[in-house]
Amino acid sequence: MDTLNVIKSLAESLGADYFGIADLTEARNFILMQGGPEIAQYPTGVTMGIALLDPLVELLPDRGKNGGGALYRHHAYDVVNAALDQIALQVANRIQREGYRALPVAASRRTDEARICGPFSHKLAAHLAGLGWIGRSCLLITPDHGPRVRWVTVLTDAPLAATGSPMKSRCGNCTECVTACPVQAFTGRVFDENEPREARFDAPACDHFFREEEKRTGIAVCGMCLWACPFGRVKQK
């Protein structure tokens, strides 16, 4: 088996529902600004995702009741992110054994408090690999699971061909996520790679709401923008 099929099979055997290869070269300036030269040196991203369990997501509107928020936080953040980090580690090890450089980027780890972001955008890699589009919620929206997917990326110099190209937005006239946000963090503008995130999303407002929820309930959970998206909800009906 070639390297692509080896790591794809490995990722899927470890529980990845989504797998793709992103050509990062055209986004290099953006990646450099976010993560610096160590991160931006890699031309390719191996993007992998795990779909969230629908019954967990359905807890979100009543997350303040009956321990729903804690259950969601445990499985949909902690357990899924740990599983993604394990998949990324194993895939990176495998790529290194094939003779190439590979750097796993943690599934969910904020490294820049001022800009409220990590060192690399997993959504960007999944978008470039053709697995979905960036919605009005600034989340990566997949046709099958909507935004109900968590992502991880392995950066590499292995010669892997891109599995797709960026998907065009299918949000249309929908504004469900904009309406669902309790702090009106979204402006409703569709994704435009030439505009900064601030044109669409007030990240400090979202972050502040999480901190307030944590003080109020002991659990930092919201996710109403994720819950509301019709692309995640259709198949449940």
Q: Which residues are at the interface with ligand SF4 (CB under 6 A)?
A: 135-137, 141, 171, 174-177, 180-183, 185, 206, 209, 222-225, 228-231
Residue nearest to ligand SF4 (CB): 135
The tokens describing 202, both together, are 């007030």
- Cβ 166 to ligand SF4, closest distance in Å? 15
Beta pairing partners, 44: 23, 156
| Pairwise CA distance, residues 89 & 9, whole Å | 14
The residue among 136 and 150 lying less far from ligand SF4, judged by its C-beta, is 136
Q: Closest distance between ligand SF4 and the C-beta of residue 133, in Å?
A: 8
User: Residue 173 carries which side chain, given as an amino acid letter?
Assistant: N
Q: Measuring CA to CA, how many Å separate 103 from each of 24, 52, 88, 188, 220?
A: 14, 25, 9, 35, 29
DSSP-derived letter for residue 186 is B
Of the two residues 83 and 183, which places its CB atom closer to ligand SF4 in the complex?
183
Instruction: Provide, rounded to whole angstroms, the least separation between the CB of residue 214 and ligand SF4.
Output: 12
- As measured in angstroms, the least distance from the Cβ of 134 to ligand SF4 is 8
Nearest to ligand SF4 of 24, 57 (CB atom): 57
Give the residue among 162, 174, 168, 176 at the shortest CA–CA distance from 193: 168
